[in-house]
Amino acid sequence: MKSDSVKSGMERAPHRALFKAMGYTDEELKRPLVGIANSANDIIPGHVELDRIVSAVKAGIRMGGGTPVAFGTIGICDGIAMNHIGMKYSLASRELIADSVEVMAIAHAFDAMVMVTNCDKIVPGMLMASARLNLPAIVVSGGPMLAGTLHGKTIDLISVFEGVGAVKSGKMDEAELADIEDCACPTCGSCAGMFTANSMNCLTEAMGMGLPGNGTIPAVMAARTRLAKEAGMNVVKLLKRRITPRKIMTEKAFANAMAVDMALGCSTNTVLHLMAIAHEAGVKIDLDDFNRVSENVPHLCSLSPVGKHHVEDLNRAGGVGAVMKELCRRRLIHTGCLTVTGKSVKENIANSRVTDKGVIRPLERPYHKQGGLAVLFGNMAPSGCVVKQSAVVRKMLRHEGPARVFDSEEEATSAIMGRKIRKGDVVVIRYEGPKGGPGMREMLMPTSAIAGMGLDAEVALITDGRFSGGTRGAAIGHVSPEAMEGGAIAVVKDGDGISIDIPKKRITLKIPDKEIERRLSRWRRPRPKISKGYIARYARVVSSGGEGAVVR
């Protein structure tokens, strides 16, 4: 066991003395040390009750014959960090989380790991650490929040964001918004729709790194606690069988994750995160892979922010296992892949079934024939950009209009809230990429304002930053190369025509190539918006969104 290096033999008497100072017994020190990365805190609804999950994991580890050792990691609530400087730190926190787990695991010679997590950057950060460490590991999420209700209508966090736009446009009064605010988030858990947190929890299960049910069992259900106990027991079994993450996170496992991604209509952020996790696992995937999968895998579930269903409905309808079982009918899932149950995907989903075909549609009756995401290329994004095509109204799948250019989210939000954006406009928000932001902010406020004002069927948004998993409409993010790297988006001018053709996967700046070259020859890189601290260091070493925004 790796932990023998800190607890076995006469030379390790000082080390054992330190363990005994914390109450560990000789019997506990004979067992494998299983680290528990715990991202519990008092600032994220999805993490506020993770200590309860960790207690269950500890019980499972002890039942399995191991000794649990818990430690904390950081976590940012994207909703609270939204639309101010705090969001610059969100994506960048993913790397800090992965690094901190690595540091703790190696410094203390853990034999195996359980990653207890729930929300946007914390889930991929822990998966990245799992791949990097390659110790037997299981990821356990805290589970999704239940949706809220108001006047008989189901609502969630996005209802609040879009309500702000509705108030600004005179479609709603502030008293009604206050009622929505009070009812939208009724329990702890990751926000109720198929936003980034729940997307990543579902994909963790799909790629085999989470137990069946990990993606969908609501946070408040006792089944979530039982799942945590099972994870603790199972990780000791993985250790005994020497099953490590890189044996699970194979190329075929990532293909499974992408297939489920497309069927569920997940967040565009999954593109960044899957590429970063694959990078740590030594698996090569690129943007073209997402398009290839999307062309073959239909969109079967319409969850918020696109449809009326929420993750609790998906759980009731059979969960991720039922979605995979349905996809198997066309051989769209690699069923031989190994998982953290110690069994194959085929064995895991053998008894799965769709119990509500209104939530999980059959392959013959999908919401869309192609998957939820599309990657567009063209002279405005030679290295690609990403759109949640399942969230785009039909008339906006092809759109051409004049650019309205802004050099920050704040400028764009001010113009939108000030009702200065006209029908047909293409809002361009630049210098918000990994380097230029820095930090590649999610921009839920401008997209929600557009939707709340009823303009999502009339206005497109394009950025080298990101859009939230809660975004709907023709919102195209991750434009690469970004403005700060001298991409074409840096030289777009107000009034330039921009053509978007999502079915053909094209995005075009409607000016001659020679004019683009002339403008770029005169372009000068602006000074960094932040020049000190962690985020300044991050900006110097992060790659483009088209490469997963990984730190080199």
Q: Is 468 designated active site?
A: yes
**Given strand 137-141, what is the order of strands in its sheet?**
67-72, 33-38, 112-117, 137-141
What 3 state SS string does 91-149 have? HHHHHHHHHHHHHHHHHCCCCEEEEEECCCCHHHHHHHHHHHHCCCEEEEECCECCCEE
Residue of 304, 468, 543, 544 marked catalytic = 468
**Alpha carbon separation from 386 to 61, 67, 291, 464 (Å, rounded):** 41, 44, 10, 10
d(CA 193, CA 308): 9
Distance of CA 435 to the CA centre of its chain: 20
DSSP string, 433-490: STTTTTS--B-HHHHHHHHHTT-TTT-EEEESSB--TT--SSEEE--SS-GGGT-GGG
pLDDT in tens, the chain (552 residues): 999 999 999 999 999 999 999 999 999 999 999 999 999 999 999 999 999 999 999 999 999 999 999 999 999 999 999 989 999 999 999 999 999 999 999 999 999 999 999 999 999 999 999 999 999 999 999 999 999 999 999 999 999 999 998 998 899 999 999 999 999 999 999 999 999 999 999 999 999 999 999 999 999 999 999 999 999 999 999 999 999 999 999 999 999 999 999 999 999 999 999 999 999 999 999 999 999 999 999 999 999 999 999 999 999 999 999 999 999 999 999 999 999 999 999 999 999 999 999 999 999 999 999 999 999 999 999 999 999 999 999 999 999 999 999 999 999 999 999 999 999 999 999 999 999 999 999 998 899 889 888 898 999 999 999 998 888 999 999 999 999 999 999 999 999 999 999 999 999 999 999 999 999 999 999 999 999 999 999 999 999 999 999 998
Q: What is the largest CA-CA distance in the chain?
A: 76
Q: Answer yes or no: are the C-beta atoms of 277 and 249 closer than 8 Å.
A: yes
